[in-house]
Structure 1
Amino acid sequence: MTFTRTVKEEILRVQTNDKNELAAIIKMSGSLSLTDHSLNLSITTENAKIARYIYALIESIYHTVPEVSYHQKPNLRKNRIYTVLLAQHVAELLSDLKLADSFFGLATGIEPHILDDDEAGRFYLRGVFLAAGTIRDPESGKYQLEIFSVYQDHAEDLANLLHKFMLDAKVINRKNGAVTYLQKAEDIMDFLILIGAMQAKEVFEEAKIMRETRNDLNRANNAETANIAKTVAASMKTISNILKIKETIGFEALPAELRQVAQIRLDHPDYSLQEIADKLETPLSKSGVNHRLRKINKLAAEL
């Protein structure tokens, strides 16, 4: 099951009977037709549970029983398309939901009262997400929530509604419409809270934390590996210089304090500066050890 479907099925478990939610679903997935001088409203979805939910909303709010049918998509996936059809009192329903438009059949923007009322806005967001929302699986590491709108003005209004809830929504044009989207993980989690998908929010947050923890560990491991490689390279360079000194002027030519550090480096190529310091007869700091090794390297360079 996709993460999008998981979110939708969670919020479907709560029947709201809210007109703003129904208005959003009709706005996103509804179409009008005229048959035998009768105005029909069709609402389509690929999710059987959403179809049943729409059916229950209409029946509960308007005490009208719609019809539900389905047909198979003519492609390899063979998904079913469910249609909730209302053939009675359509004009009254559209008028009550403030969706009627004398020219286009359905108004294209979002009603001002939804933009002004936080509670109405939350229910509207539930509806638009049920009808046309998708969320990328947080396990993928790329966070994205999208809501597709046929009309540009609706996508812009939707972004403004999300801005009201302090979410950084943006709009991008697509071939057949426009997409309102969120890309920040924190915004997506806040959106899930707004529409009542608390369990999905917890799953999303856990996936985000686990991924960030893995990334932090990888960065730490990479840094440690780089430091080890750097230490090994420096050690090999110093050993090479010590051997050069032994072959030219002789080991005994080194001052006693340099000779002792050089011998420990030869005997223990993998030692860190601190480990060399701990091995000395006379206590010395890491910087002191480093200073003596640099003297040895400088002396070798002058030979």
Structure 2
Amino acid sequence: MTYTTKVKEEILGLKLSDKAELSAIIKLTGSLGLTSKGLTLSISTENAKIARHIYALLESFYQITPEIKHHQKNNLRKNRVYTVFLEEAVEAILADLHLADAFFGIETGLEQTLLADDEKGRSYLRGAFLATGSIRDPESGKYQLELFSVYLDHAEGLSALLQKFMLDAKVLERKNGAVTYLQKADDIMDFLIIIGAMEAKDHFEELKLLREARNDINRANNAETANIARTVSASVRTINNISKIADELGLDNLPYELQQIAQIRLAHPDYSIQQIADSLDKPLTKSGVNHRLRKINKIAEDL
């Protein structure tokens, strides 16, 4: 089961119902037909539980009995498509949900009253996500939530509604419609809170924190590895220079404080600067050891 499906199933389990939610579902996935008897309404989804939910909403709000049809997609995925079909009181339902204008091409955007009522706004976003929403699995580390709309102005309306809830929503136009999307992990978690998917939000946050902890550990390990590599490289260079001085000048001709440093480095090539400092007769800081090592390297370079 995908993460998106888990979120949708949690929403369906809340057993919330609001006309704003139904309005969003119909607007995003509904289509009109015309017969000799009048208008028909078809609402399609690949999720059987969502189809049953739509059926229940229509039955509860309008005391009608829709029909549920299904067919197999003719593609590689071969998903089953469920259609809630209605051929009675369609005009009245569309008018009640303020959708008639959208279907007849006069108005395709978002009803402005949704921006003024937080609860209706939450319900509308819940319906929009059930209809066309998707969330990239947070375990991937690449965060993205999308709501697909056929109309650009409706996608922009969804963006305005999300921004009303202080979310950084953006819109991307595509050939077959437009996508309203969120890319920040915190925004996606806030969206899940807004639509009531608290378990999904907690799971998302847990995966995010776990991934961040792993990244912190990896960064620390990488930094430690890089430090070790630099230490080894510097040690090898210094040992080569000490050998050069021993062959061409003789270590006995070095000042005693440099002789001691050179002898410790030759005897313990794996020692850190602090370990060299701790091995000296007289205490010395790491800065002091580094200063003497630089002197040794300079003597070797001048030979």
Tell whether the structures are fold-level matches, with TM greater than 0.5: yes
Segments of structure 1 that go 5 or more residues without pairing to the other structure are none
CA drift at 1:76: 2.4
1 CA distance for matches of 2:75 and 2:302?
78
What aligned pairs does 1:217-296 form with structure 2 within 5 A after superposition?
217-296=217-296
Counterparts of 1:62-81 in structure 2, within 5 Å, are: 62-81=62-81
Kindly provide the amino acid, as one letter, of the partner of residue 69 in structure 2: S
1:82-231, aligned counterparts within 5 Å? 82-101=82-101, 104=104, 107-231=107-231
Residue of structure 1 equivalent to 2:22: 22
Shift of 1:256: 1.1
SS, match of residue 101 in structure 1: helix
Q: Deviations over 1:98-137 (max 9, x none)?
A: 1112871684111111111111100000000000001000
* 1: CA distance, partners of 2:35 / 2:106: 17
For 1:257, what is the secondary structure of its paired residue?
A: helix
Q: Which amino acid aligns with 2:273?
A: L
| SS at 1:32 equivalent | strand
Q: Distance in 2 between matches of 1:206 and 1:192?
A: 14
Is the 1:189–1:204 Cα contact (8 Å) retained in structure 2? yes
Q: Residues of 1 paired with 2:48 and 2:130: CA distance?
A: 12
1:237 partner letter:
R
Change over 3 Å in CA distance of 1:136–1:102 after alignment to 2 = closer
User: Is the 8 Å Cα contact of residues 32 and 103 (structure 2) preserved in structure 1?
Assistant: no
Report if aligned partners of 1:26, 1:43 keep a CA contact under 8 Å in 2: yes
Task: List structure 1 runs of 4+ shifted beyond 6 angstroms.
Answer: none
C-alpha distance in structure 1 between counterparts of 2:183 and 2:51, whole Å = 29
Across the aligned residues of Structure 1 and Structure 2, the Cα RMSD in angstroms comes to 1.2
Instruction: Give TM-score scaled by structure 1 length.
Output: 0.97
What's the offset of the Cα at 1:244? 0.7
CA–CA separation in structure 1 for the residues paired with 2:127 and 2:106: 16
> 2-side partners of 1:235 and 1:243: how far apart?
12
Gaps in structure 2 of 5+ consecutive residues? none
Indicate conservation of the 8 Å contact 2:102/2:109, yes or no: no
Name the residue aligned to 1:2: 2
Secondary structure class of the residue paired with 1:196: coil
Residues in 1 aligned to 2:113 and 2:207: alpha-carbon distance in whole angstroms: 36
CA contact (8 A) 1:32 1:105 kept: no
- Structure 2: how far apart are the matches of 1:143 and 1:93? 37
CA distance in 2, matches of 1:274, 1:144: 47
Judging changes above 3 Å, is the alpha-carbon distance between structure 1 residues 102 and 190 closer, same or farther for their aligned structure 2 residues? Answer: closer
Distance across 2 between alignment mates of 1:108 and 1:89: 22
Cα displacement (A) at 1:288: 0.9
- Which residue identity is paired with 1:58? L
- Report the more deviating stretch, 65-74 or 43-52: 65-74
Residue 16 (structure 1) shift: 1.8
Asked if structure 2 preserves the Cα contact closer than 8 Å seen for 1:17 and 1:61, the reply is no
Whether the 8 Å contact between 2:45 and 2:83 is mirrored in structure 1 is yes
AA in 2 matched with 1:248: E
Tell me the CA shift for residue 15 of structure 1: 2.1
Q: Deviations over 1:22-75 (max 9, x none)?
A: 000000011111112321111000000000000011111111111111011112
Report the residue type matching 1:90 in the other structure.
V
Task: Report the TM-score, using the length of structure 2 for normalisation.
Answer: 0.97
Do the aligned partners of 2:41 and 2:85 also contact (CA within 8 Å) in 1? yes
Alpha carbons of 1:63 and 1:111: their partners in 2 closer, same or farther (altered >3 Å)? same
Shift of 1:177: 0.5
Q: Deviations over 1:189-236 (max 9, x none)?
A: 000000111111111111111111111111111111111111111111
Identity of aligned residues (%): 69
1:253 CA drift (Å): 0.3
Q: What is the deviation of 1:170?
A: 0.5
Match of 1:5, as an amino acid?
A: T
- 85-94 vs 47-56, which moves further: 85-94
